[in-house]
Structure 1
Amino acid sequence: MNYFNYFTEIEDTFVRRRGKHLLLGTMDWALMTAWKEMGVPLHVVLNGIERAFDSFAAKPRKRSVKTLMYCQEEVEAQYAEWLESQLGAQNGIVDGEQETGADYVEEENLPFPRATILEHMQSARAALLQICEERRRMRDDELCDALTRAAARLGEMEKDFARAAPPSAEKLEEALTTLEKMLDDALSANIPQKELATARSETEAQLEPYRNRMEQPTYEQTFG
């Protein structure tokens, strides 16, 4: 991912969570540059921003968040955890093969086998690209751009999840939630409300047979 995309994704997420458009200052750009040069993955930065704002929302303060510096501590804490997971992946390899015991523990900590999760992520990425290609035949708009960006970020997340030891289902869910919010915003901005309402009704009808077996938060998140 080039510098422009890295900065744009961070700025968009910060502005969305802040709720008001605010141009980033010199110190904010310097901070983003430092993260980029440190090798902090984009999805790690975005997770840190989301968590920092979630913490702020849980304990509202009189002063609003004005700069990206507010998120620095959380972003760098997330990066430290990510580095640890990558080191764990390297240490878990012996003569080019994953240690059987470690692999077993990893599978225990996941809701599904890692390979199954990765296959699902790959399928989702392919679907995003296909939707983008089909839409681009009709119009090349911000939604196409968002779909392309989402597919690229999902690709980065796949690589990290494949290497992580142990892999964290919680971290993956947080990253996917951040991605989902970005796509939701793009859909709301580019799809007529009538079409969105129709899609929601169709989704509700498809989920109706399973509603009693789904937890309420999961059901609401599926089409909320």
Structure 2
Amino acid sequence: MKAGDPDDEYFRTAEEEFVRRRGAAMLLSPRDWSLIGEWKAAGVPLRVVLQAINNIFDAFERRAPAGRRINSLSYCRQEVLALNDLYRTLHAVEAGRPQSPEDTAGITAAARHIGRLARRVRASMALASKERRDPLVACLARVAAELKHMRKEIQGGLLEPRLLEDRLRLFDQDLLEAARASLPAGEVASLEAAADRLLGRAAERMTPVARDRTRRAHQARLLREITGLPRLTLFD
């Protein structure tokens, strides 16, 4: 590694997340290391980089032919820049800096996005009701109400921007737990087996922590597919 210290947590964590989502081991190119170095030098928070990587892989997995892989971190470059712009806008407002037109547009975009998430949650609730997944219906109804309230708080300037993603992450976890609880034991066992198959031989080359994280990510994705859950994140 030439663009940064291999023991640097920023570089190491970005590399691990990219390789984890790729699902197969690979060595990052000097260009990829340089790109991580550019993000770090520009002050892009590590959490923004990780979210961008996940967004790109989520989108790629929805549309790419089976067997295709992303082979360079460069695929994530524009997403990192876009998320960092939104992150900076929200935190500038939080810090009390006078809002520029760009800041106002960012807040408006965030409120609009929360509205879209609320609509997706309501659509999922209709599906869960049809499938008689009662624990999930109840959780979706609560989250839909929370999102509606969040949107009003954002529009009224009553919610600290830094709390948005944290609250969405908690809602997302609640939905995944409710979705799992709504499935028969046999279906849960089948889901877990499918997640293990997706891990495949790559699991042998992972650390225990990375292997567990990847398994849980596969399980979450399969849960969303089965129950029609949206992924709740501001940076999507």
Per the normalisation by structure 2, the TM-score is 0.43
Per the normalisation by structure 1, the TM-score is 0.45
